[in-house]
Amino acid sequence: MGKVKLTDTILRDAHQSLMATRMSTAEMLPIVEKLDKVGFEALEVWGGATFDASIRFLKEDPWERLREIKKRAKNTKLQMLLRGQNLLGYRHYADDIVDKFVQKSVENGIDVIRIFDALNDVRNIRQACESTKKYGAHAQLAICYTISPVHTIEYYKNLAKEMEELRADSIAIKDMSGILLPYRAYELVKELKKTVKVPIEIHTHTTAGLGEMTCIKAIEAGVDIVDTAMSPFSSGTSQPATESLVRTLQGTEFDTGLDLELLKEIAEYFKPIRKKHLECGDLNPQALFTEPNIVEYQLPGGMLSNMLSQLKAQKAENKYEDVLREIPKVRADLGYPPLVTPLSQMVGTQSVFNVLTGSRYKMIPKEIKDYVKGFYGKSPVPISDEMKKIIIGDDEIFNGRPADLIENEYDKIKQEIGDLAKSDEDVLMYAMFPQVAKTYLENRDKPEKIGKEKKIEEQVINVIF
């Protein structure tokens, strides 16, 4: 036991969870030096949806953001979230792209890479983990926490062992929907601590009203690091508040030793930023509501808002409850995948189709077919022959590592983007988001054009499925 370390998510997951990743680099930079003085284990500043949102909505260079943060954070490790073989995009990339992306992330300032796979298929995190180690960064492998008949404590222990065998430097319990119950967290952390030697970190959300209790029980069980968010962007679909946890642990054996006065100053800085985003509609007050039923449906916050947009577009908001009830059924049909990007969007879309057409699996998105064919990895439990027949007929199923089907593609992509790319970083941006990155690269030297396009784009709701 002893002192608990904190990783603060204010510059990444906090604003991603509450306001669709709309905090700009200009809003971040003035406070980085103070955040750096606190003594956090790490600052989560990059990855997840920040890369996409930077170029798509904010018309900013995500690499430049990282470099500027690094200049100001001289003492604290910078952390990012990476979707394994998916990197920060929405498909699997070839190994050479994964390797190059990790190399450039580390060169530009990342110290800790948290790597996860939506299916907890370790084959999909192997390359990213090897590259992270190769370029001298800390490889933190993440267990996507979910609830199903197959996701037992034993299942998670075996997964943690596999991750340690891959040479993970630490392991995160990634509770993306905020559904990890406090006493379950206690048992899980206790068992993982007995099973592996590397440090354990816990990442949860307060969507269901459980986050703070879950963190306390995990701390009592011996967890090494806890993810929190500075109070102005904490709670709801975000993380528990940093200052509140620091105060709670003061004077106990778990005391973080962090300076509350400095944390207060940082919170004051973020309050007007929060107010601004609330007034312009980026921060939806609904994201701050407590929704205990989320434990049943297991939906991450982003999936809920995407699903509502889909139903609204079809003038079918009255079908919301029906879709919520359909999601657990679709998930069971598909072998209980954890509901995290991209699987959460896929399961949500299939559920919407099932309800709106009035006939289950009458319409099936290509992504669901590819998933059943094995192109995303291995489902936690085998999908029944009956379901396979309904979804893909007699099509063949691939049982290998999905990325083995993709030939090295970096040079081809570099050639494709040509002179628009001035660096490897530009090429990687284009590799992940071809249309959006191309538009950004074409216009980056024309500030007036970027400003105009930004206004137009801000009026459009982009829902990615």
Give pLDDT, residue 427. Answer: 98
Instruction: Give residue-wise pLDDT tens across range 76-112.
Output: 999 999 999 999 988 899 999 999 999 999 999 999 9
Q: Is the pLDDT of residue 368 over 50?
A: yes
Instruction: Give residue-wise pLDDT tens across range 203-243.
Output: 999 999 999 999 999 999 999 999 999 999 999 999 999 99
Q: Are residues 362 and 423 in the same domain?
A: no
Instruction: Tell me which H or E stretch contains 185.
Output: helix 182-195
Give pLDDT, residue 376. Answer: 95
Q: Are residues 139 and 202 in the same domain?
A: yes
33-47, 177-191, 271-285, 305-319 — which is least confidently predicted?
A: 305-319
Q: Are residues 453 and 353 in the same domain?
A: no
Residues pairing with 61 in the sheet: none
Q: What is the CATH number of the domain that holds 45?
A: 3.20.20.70
Q: Is the pLDDT of residue 465 over 50?
A: no
Confidence of residue 307 (pLDDT cuts 50, 70, 90): confident
Q: Are residues 241 and 325 in the same domain?
A: no
The CA distances from residue 118 to 32, 125, 218, 343, 345, in Å, are: 31, 10, 23, 7, 11
Say if 71 falls within a structural domain.
yes
Say if 291 falls within a structural domain.
no
**For residues 381 and 121, what is the distance between their CA atoms, to the nearest angstrom?**
12
When pLDDT is averaged across residues 246-255 and rounded to a whole number, the result is 98
Cα dihedral 112→116→122→123 (10° resolution)? -90
Q: What is the model's pTM?
A: 0.92
Place of tokens 């970083």: 425
User: In sequence order, which ranges of 20-125 are alpha helices (DSSP H)?
Assistant: 25-37, 50-56, 62-72, 95-107
Q: Are residues 67 and 127 in the same domain?
A: yes
Q: Are residues 344 and 378 in the same domain?
A: yes
Say if 22 falls within a structural domain.
yes
When pLDDT is averaged across residues 7-21 and rounded to a whole number, the result is 93
Give pLDDT, residue 321. Answer: 87
**For residues 126 and 132, what is the distance between their CA atoms, to the nearest angstrom?**
10
Confidence of residue 305 (pLDDT cuts 50, 70, 90): low
Q: Are residues 70 and 191 in the same domain?
A: yes
Which comes out higher in pLDDT, residue 329 or 452?
329
In which domain, by residue range, is 197 found? Answer: 5-279
User: In sequence order, which ranges of 362-433 are alpha helices (DSSP H)?
Assistant: 366-372, 385-392, 410-417, 424-432
Q: Are residues 172 and 232 in the same domain?
A: yes
Give pLDDT, residue 454. Answer: 47
Q: Are residues 233 and 344 in the same domain?
A: no
- How many structural domains does the chain have? 3
Say if 90 falls within a structural domain.
yes
Say if 345 falls within a structural domain.
yes
Neighbours of 252 (CB within 10 A): 11
Q: Are residues 334 and 386 in the same domain?
A: yes
Say if 396 falls within a structural domain.
yes
**For residues 169 and 167, what is the distance between their CA atoms, to the nearest angstrom?**
6
Q: Is the pLDDT of residue 290 over 50?
A: yes
Give pLDDT, residue 462. Answer: 36
Q: In 3D, which of 298, 378, 398, 370 has the Cα closest to residue 335?
A: 378
Q: Are residues 412 and 375 in the same domain?
A: no
Q: Are residues 70 and 201 in the same domain?
A: yes
Say if 294 falls within a structural domain.
no
Say if 463 falls within a structural domain.
no
Q: Which of 351, 367, 400 is the endpoint of a domain?
A: 400
When pLDDT is averaged across residues 140-152 and rounded to a whole number, the result is 96
